[in-house]
Amino acid sequence: MTHWAAPDAWERNATAMDAAMRDEGQPSDFSLGMLQVVFPAYDIPEIVRRLHNHMAGRVVVPAPADWTTVGRGRG
């Protein structure tokens, strides 16, 4: 869960929507229409734990990246 290049990293997809598609008379006006995040099912318990902590006001500052999660040694 800590690095985008780690094995089983989460996949992210964003879709931009142009408001002019509904009204061709107006200029293009893009906005984020959809955000999809795909993650391994075994991350669900950790996600739920973090969401509960966040809702309870217990926010933890992220630690520095640990390169060992992407097959590189420390340092």
Q: What is the pLDDT of residues 6-39, one digit of tens each?
A: 777 888 888 888 888 888 888 898 888 788 989 8
- Specify the pTM: 0.54
Q: Which residues are paired to 36 by β-bridges?
A: 13
Instruction: Give which of 74, 52, 56, 57 is closest to 65, Cα–Cα.
Output: 74
The pLDDT value given to residue 21: 84
The residues near 68 (Cβ < 8 Å, ≥ 6 apart) are: 74
How many residues are given for the chain?
75
Using pLDDT thresholds of 50, 70 and 90, give the confidence band for residue 75: low
